[in-house]
Structure 1
Amino acid sequence: MPASRFPPSPTSLSSAAEQDAAGGFARLWTTFMAARVFIALALLLLHLGLYLAGRAPPPLVLGSCVAYLAATIAVQAKARPRGPGSAFDALWLPTVGVDLCFFALLQLTPGTAAINYTPLLVLPVLMAAALGSRTLALGTAAMVALLLLGHAAWTVHADAWLNTADLPQAGLTGAGLLALALLTHQMAARLAREEVIARRNQVEAQVQALVNDLVVESLPDGVLVVDSTFMVRTANPAARVLLGSDQEVTPHFFSLHDDPAWEQLTAIARQTFADAPVDATDIVLHHDDRQSSRLRVRTQRTPSIDDSGVSLCVMFLQDLREMEARLRTEKLASMGRMSAAVAHEIRNPLAAISQANALLDEDLSQPAQRRLTAMVRQNAERLQHIVEDVLDVARAQGTGDATQWHAMALDDEVGVCCDEWRQQHAVGERMRVELHATGVHVQFAPAHLRRVLVNLLDNAARYASQRPGAIQVASYAVRHGPVMLMVWSDGAAMEPAVRRHLFEPFFSSESRSSGLGLFISRELCERHGATISHERTSRDQGGQLVEGNEFFIGLRRAHAGHSTV
């Protein structure tokens, strides 16, 4: 693709067409100049041949031939036309004027009457008509007509005026040259206009094709253009992703018969070519090396390209999983708003429960009963934190209140959280923790960091293998930069549709998941001025590099923290 993908303006289109027309004018100029040089060389050779044959022409004619050849070569090498639409006056004298003088000299010089040089006068008339204005063309033809009439009147004797045919012939020749000049100029002007229009239309067609390609390439839905032999002539990147076609392996043009998983698409194309376009049908493509694709296919048949009746089938492919995810997101978003309303209503009864439990605890003396009130208090506080988090997420508070941030020793908090999570899930050697930010403090609430870290560890455990080091947690501090916390697992690569919506609320690749974990993690990170992102990276596992999914958290340093590496 070109460096700039913006279509040119109408002014640039006109300029391009005019430049192309100027190029055509230059080619016409070059042709005429080459013809003049050829005629000059032919005349010189003709008179040299007459001289060698013993019929020596006058010295003036032979010298004029040499001078005319030199003049035509000089004009061809040095002169440059001004372009179409100009009056051609500046170059009339060294081109048309020189030709008229030279050809008239040959015609009028005594001793050359045996040769008729009249046909040569057509060249300057054609040159003036094709390269100059209409006035210049008609003026040149009129000069030639007067020259012919004058020569005929000069050569006719006074007693033979009534019987000679030279004067009528000269008059007819002059009239023909006038008509030739007028018609040639009109044809040249028309061809120049048509060339400009054709070039402008060609440029506009190229721009339109570029815009169409840009639109098709950027469409989120897949687009396939298939011919009657089931060859795919066009496939945008989204279509190749849905088909499981690798751009580096699959050629630009490929057939639907190349992969058995595409046979359903072949049947749909065959049905479309049988004058039965598919409005919308759902299919499943079973791939050998990746997860099956569920697609919704819609087709249209283009009109016949020419009289042969050849047409194309355009297929529009949509990822059903992404469509269902968007629909599910909309449904769960409304449920999320309802959950926020419910959480808001829970706060008052929860506060009453906490207060009643505190009053009850004051009247109890037995240890067993006090342990029960302590359990009620702890769980009520836990519910209170959950309610506040749900309300915070629902309100999507950006960075939160800076006064509520805490200076927290990152490695200490992460180490405690990882140990508790390791014991709770009994992962053993599957989990490896490498903390290299000792003594560095970050701005983050400990409870919120634990929630983010537990969410990431739960996701990692869900997709990681059972090998030692399948889950890895690491931290380090960048000099004069953020403090990084990474959670890596050797799970399979995520599909592009999943990666695009990774941190969106209520989006999940599994039906049993609510899709809120990563969204809440991102919201909590943003509230504390931190960032969270995902990349596909390689880590050492058992002495070899293994690819996996890694989540990066960039934490802000606390003001009391020290810059370390």
Structure 2
Amino acid sequence: MAGAVFGDTSSSTDGAVRTEPLRYLNLFRLVLAGLFLVAGRSLQLGSDSPILFVGAAFTYLAAVLILGFPDAARLMGTNRLVTVQVLVDITLLTLIMWASGGYRSGIPTLILVALAGAGLVGQSRMVLFYAAYASVAALLENGFRFLSGRESVDFFTVGITCIGFFAIAQVARLLAQRAIANEDLARQRGTDLANQLRLNRQIIQDMQDGVLVVGEGGVIRQFNPQAIALLGPGLRDGGTLKECAPALERELQRRDELGSSAHSVRADSSGMMLLARFLPAGEANETLIYLEDFGRIHRQIQQVKLAALGRLTASIAHEIRNPLASVSQAAELLMDEKRSEMQARLIRIIGNNAQRIDRLVGDVLALGRRDEALPETLPLAAFVEEFLEEFSVADAGVDRGIVVSAVRPDLEISMDRAHLRQILWNLVGNARRHCSGQPGAVKISAELLDDGRVALDVSDDGSGIPESLRGQVFEPFFTTHSKGTGLGLYIARELAEANGAVLELCGHAPSALPGAHFRIIGHVKP
């Protein structure tokens, strides 16, 4: 029963109680009380006063049982309970020592054990009080024994024992404090280590590179989700590289033969071109493999090149615009004069090509303005109607009914007004060029998606985009139009991304026209 006390095993600073040692100390008290009752007389205890000895032993057993219940700690408080237990120990052991012949009975040794246990359990300065109480009790017991004429020992011997009480109590207290400090440090380091392992695991899971740990014989120990994406779904824990990724296993063998740490390899399952780096992993004869997608590396290099090209072309475009304006103005002045038909034709050629160059310059300059997005909430239906009016005027008065709007009046989108206008201008312009020219040949529609975003669709009834070209439509300078710049769709996608939106080429939805189908997916609120 006494061993069931105190379920909490926590420890804290000086003055707190360590409950795990207290459980064992209570067990020791219980065994000791039982030993007094069962074998006390065999151990020559209680020889001077058998009745007092038996009464003290029964009282000690009852105190151990009562103070050992969990309710005692809840009612009295743990610190107060320890104090009561220690005082009961010293008092009853002193009475048993009186009844058993005094100092020579060996009971002072048990008092030393009780003080040592109190020091390990409590650690507070109260242990000095316990030692003082035990010293006073031992001195009084020997004093009464001396005054009553019973056999006693000299007070110097008892004094040495009392000094031992203080020494044992203080040493036990210091050892307990040191143990608590070590426990707290170990617990803190364990927590830090667990947090670090959890963080490392999360980083590895979210890495853009694939990571594998391969043991001896090519056995796969660990891998992250990106490794599955790069090598294919056949990758499994406990399998071998030869089964799951033969090409990677061959490169690992080549690494062992040639000593090189980086190799290019084509994944057997996914067909992707990868850069594999092999590094030793610890002392367990394991190999750490990093896998990088060559396609992603190529896209990053392309982005850097495009950024440099954009800065260069923007600076050149600014320089081109000034003389280009002069050429266009000169062509307009020449048109006002009476010229021959041949001269007028040449002037029109000059004007048309000057406008073409001006559009190209405008597209190039738009690349530099993608980071200047000022999103606002736009009512889609009103915005599209306003855009179509402007587009029909600019399209040389072509029938307004070719491009129709089917946008619900309650839908809104968060985008920069000028950016959305330029995106629609590119999409509708391309659709107008490739459609049949019949009424309703180009359709602008919108819908609210399940995730709360808005999708704005532009579709036409033309021949559509061939499957072989669908992966190139957003590449810069790619065009199938003889007079196109190849920057329209690329700039449209860049402007969409600058507004937190997505521009994508979709398949043929049931509600869309049979030609090309582009979709802008944006947020409702900024």
TM more than 0.5: yes
1:372/1:256 CA distance change after superposition, 3 Å: farther
Shift of 1:473: 5.9
Unaligned runs of 5+ in 1: 1-15, 50-54, 305-309, 420-432, 462-470, 493-497, 557-565
Matched, 1:485 2:456: yes
Distance 1:358 1:105, change over 3 A: closer
Deviates more, 1:199-208 or 1:233-242: 233-242
User: Structure 2: which amino acid aligns with 1:107?
Assistant: M
Instruction: Tell me whether 1:97 sits opposite 2:90 in the alignment.
Output: no
Deviation at 1:293, TM superposition (A): 1.8
Using the size of structure 1 for normalisation, the TM-score is 0.61
| Alignment partners' CA distance in 2, 1:413 and 1:353 | 30
- Distance (whole Å) between structure 1 residues aligned to residue 360 and residue 477 of structure 2: 20
Relative to structure 1, is the Cα distance of residues 188 and 99 closer, same or farther in structure 2, using a 3 angstrom cutoff?
Answer: same
- Could you say if the C-alpha distance between residues 372 and 264 of structure 1 is closer, same or farther in structure 2, counting changes exceeding 3 Å? same
Counterpart pick for 1:552 among 511, 517, 520: 520
Q: CA deviation at 1:113?
A: 13
Tell me if structure 2 keeps the 8 A contact 1:435–1:476. no
Alpha-carbon offset, residue 125 of structure 1 = 2.7
SS in 2 for 1:255: coil
Match for residue 30 of structure 1?
A: 23
Query: Match of 2:379?
Result: none
Deviation at 1:28, TM superposition (A): 1.0
Q: Distance in 2 between matches of 1:224 and 1:93?
A: 59
1:79 matches 2:73: yes
When the two chains are superposed, the root-mean-square deviation of aligned CA atoms in Å is 5.8
- Which 5+ residue runs of structure 2 have no aligned equivalent? 1-8, 377-381, 396-402, 436-440, 479-483
In structure 2, relative to structure 1, the CA distance for the partners of 1:237 and 1:154 (3 Å cut) is farther
1:392 lines up with 2:366 in the alignment: yes
1:330 counterpart (304, 309, 314): 304
Matched, 1:301 2:271: no
Corresponding letter in the other structure for 2:266: V
Q: CA contact under 8 A between 1:457 and 1:487: conserved in structure 2?
A: no
Cα drift, residue 550 of structure 1: 6.3
1:208 and 2:208 are equivalent in the alignment = no
Distance (whole Å) between structure 2 residues aligned to residue 399 and residue 125 of structure 1: 77
Match of 2:491 in 1: 520
1:500-539 matched pairs, under 5 angstroms: 516-522=487-493, 532-534=501-503
Q: Structure 1 residue 100: deviation in Å?
A: 2.0
Residue by residue over 1:467-509, the C-alpha shift from the partner in whole angstroms, topping out at 9 and shown as x without a partner, is: xxxx99650377xx998522589999xxxxx9xxx98x8599x
Give the whole-Å Cα distance in 1 for the aligned partners of 2:224 and 2:137: 65
Question: Contact 2:317–2:364 at 8 Å: present in 1 too?
Answer: yes
Output aligned runs, 1:54-453, within 5 Å: 60-77=52-69, 78-79=72-73, 90-91=80-81, 93-109=83-99, 120-131=110-121, 132=123, 133=125, 135-136=128-129, 138-139=131-132, 142-143=135-136, 146=139, 181=169, 184-245=172-233, 253-257=237-241, 259-260=243-244, 262-269=245-252, 278-287=260-269, 290=270, 292-304=271-283, 310-363=284-337, 374=348, 376-396=350-370, 398=372, 409=385, 435-437=405-407, 449-453=424-428
Paired AA for residue 449 in structure 1: L
Task: Please give the alpha-carbon distance, in whole angstroms, between the structure 2 residues aligned to 1:393 and 1:387.
Answer: 10
Distance 1:125 1:523, change over 3 A: closer
Compute the displacement of 1:520 (Å): 1.0
Letter of the structure 2 residue corresponding to residue 283 of structure 1: V
> Identity rate of aligned residues, in percent?
24
Cα distance between partner residues in 1 of 2:500 and 2:230? 31
Relative to structure 1, the CA distance from residue 148 to residue 182 in structure 2 (aligned partners, 3 Å threshold; closer, same or farther) is: farther
TM-score by length of 2: 0.65
Shift in Å at residue 27 of structure 1?
1.0
Letter in 1 for 2:241: H
> Structure 1 residues 386, 515: CA separation in 2 closer, same or farther (over 3 Å shift)?
closer
Output the CA distance in 2 between the equivalents of 1:151 and 1:536: 105
Across the two proteins, how many residue pairs are aligned to each other? 463
Q: CA deviation at 1:357?
A: 3.9
Query: What amino acid does structure 1 have at the position aligned with 2:293?
Result: D
Give the conservation status (yes or no) of the 8 Å contact 2:251–2:265. Answer: no
Q: Is 1:58–1:111's contact at 8 Å kept on the other side of the alignment?
A: no
